[in-house]
Amino acid sequence: MSTRRAASLAVDVGPTASRWWMLAAFSLLVATTQVLWLTFAPVTRESARALGVSEGLVGDLAVVNPLLFVLLALPAGRFVDRAFRPTLAAGAAFTMGGALVRLVDPASYGWQLSGQLLASVAQPLVLTATTALAARCFPPAQRTLAIAVGSAAQFVGVLAGALGGPLLVGHDGLAPLLAAHAALAVVAGVAVLALLRVVVVAPPEVRAAGGAGWAWLRHDPLLWRLAGLLLVGVGVFNALATWLDPIMAGLGHPGVAGGLIGVMTVAGIVGAAVLPGPAAARDARRALLLVATALTAGVMLVLTVVNAPLAAGALLAVLGVVLLAGLPVALDWSEAHVGAARSGTATAVLLLAGNLGGVVLVLAVQPFVGSPRLALMVIGLAGPPGLWLALGLPRRASRATPV
């Protein structure tokens, strides 16, 4: 029996508890990266006052994260493929380091920026390991669930970061908020580092054909279609999260956007955790992505006419369930398609496309925010290209053949 097959067998019959504890710790670390990214976003005004800087400079503390992700995602994916344990361990260490550095002086903008830079380096090292963790630590029958849980943790972190910040900032300035985030980072980081020492991690089951490097990406239309779909999906979510407040205010419903985004995100967390498994089991990944893109256009169009808060909440909840489920579905499909040996790189490509979509669609909608119905229609225009991409996907997914 080859070493690779023996290691794969070890994953199948190895200790079950350790792999699930590893997934739990990893998911907590994933959520923590999102919490650290959004630390100052929901408390921008209070942060500016505590740090003695402008609100624009506070905004820069969040901007460094997507900027570094764009620069580091592909190298991080390669590192995950080549050295899974050390790369994820480095991600855990950078996460803890970033959170702890911010505690050195909670009133210093320089220390906060330094901490955000460290945490921003950590994020691609952690997030690009989502499918690799499933492929290296779980047998095939459990990988879809593992990817779904790890992906849903991103949205849990976004929600926790957005809701928790205002509750932790008070008369003591930023210190309670930073201390809570540091404690979360240390718990998640230490748990991941400890479990990496005991969990069975198999080497790639699939030999990477076509040579080393990134050249193979140019000739993989399925991966590019999935990347395009995440560009659309993440772009729509970010555009709504950014502009729904002025849009709803312009439609005569001020002050309701926060609750609506919360409803959409919670529904999306449920969808991201629950839907990928049945979609994979029934070979219905393509159908789910078709529904998500079609609903994007449909819901935005309906919202231009029916936008009372209760109706808008119901519409956005339905959209959130399938839209946010698109992330784990695409990641799961990519792992099945490229195999474990390239799962980190494939994940990096997809997440990079999602980040790009988040920036592009937010900027595309900005000129139309003063005309709320037109802004909704611009968001909805992302649906038809996504539908075209989804229609071009194969009706049945094929899993890479182990060697």
For tokens 């003695």, the residue is: 52
| pLDDT on residue 264 | 94
Q: Is the pLDDT of residue 5 over 60?
A: no
| pLDDT on residue 253 | 92
For the stretch 235-284, pLDDT in tens is 999 899 888 988 998 999 988 888 899 999 999 999 999 999 999 999 99
* The residue type at 146: A
The span from the CA of 33 to the CA of 102, in Å, is 14
**DSSP 8-state symbol, 206:** S
Assigned token pair, 308: 């009372």
Percentage of the chain beyond pLDDT 90 is 65
| pLDDT on residue 12 | 52
For the stretch 298-339, pLDDT in tens is 999 999 999 999 999 999 999 999 999 999 999 999 988 888
Q: Of 68, 62, 70, 60, nearest to 35 (Cα)?
A: 62
Decide whether 3-196 matches 219-391 in CATH topology: yes
For the stretch 22-40, pLDDT in tens is 999 999 999 999 999 989 8
Q: Of 119, 80, 75, nearest to 100 (Cα)?
A: 119
| pLDDT on residue 206 | 47
| pLDDT on residue 59 | 84
| pLDDT on residue 403 | 38
Instruction: Share the mean pLDDT of the chain.
Output: 89
Question: How far is residue 123 CA from its own chain's centroid?
Answer: 10
Percentage of the chain beyond pLDDT 70 is 91
| pLDDT on residue 162 | 85
Q: Of 287, 271, 283, 317, nearest to 387 (Cα)?
A: 287
Q: Of 74, 382, 366, 78, nearest to 228 (Cα)?
A: 382
Look up the CATH architecture of domain 3-196.
Answer: Up-down Bundle (1.20)
**Domain 219-391's class?**
mainly alpha
Whole-model pTM? 0.86
Nearby residues of 384 by Cβ (< 8 Å), 6 or more positions away: 293, 297
| pLDDT on residue 60 | 86
| pLDDT on residue 252 | 93
Find which of 143-147, 159-163, 337-341 is predicted with most confidence, using mean pLDDT. Answer: 143-147
Q: Which helix (H) or strand (E) holds 180?
A: helix 175-196
Residue 15: how many other CB atoms lie within 10 Å? 12
| pLDDT on residue 42 | 84
The span from the CA of 163 to the CA of 44, in Å, is 13
Q: Is the pLDDT of residue 217 over 50?
A: yes
Q: Is the pLDDT of residue 353 over 90?
A: yes
**DSSP 8-state symbol, 43:** G
Straight-line distance from the first to the last Cα atom of the chain, in angstroms, rounded to the nearest whole number? 11
| pLDDT on residue 108 | 96
3-class secondary-structure state, position 201: coil
For 73, 152, 253, 292, 326, the CA distances from 309, given in Å and listed in that order, are 38, 26, 7, 22, 25
Contact predicate 122/95, CB 8 Å: yes
* The residue type at 321: V
| pLDDT on residue 55 | 84
Q: Is the pLDDT of residue 47 over 70?
A: yes
- For the chain, the domains span 3-196, 219-391
Contact predicate 355/66, CB 8 Å: yes
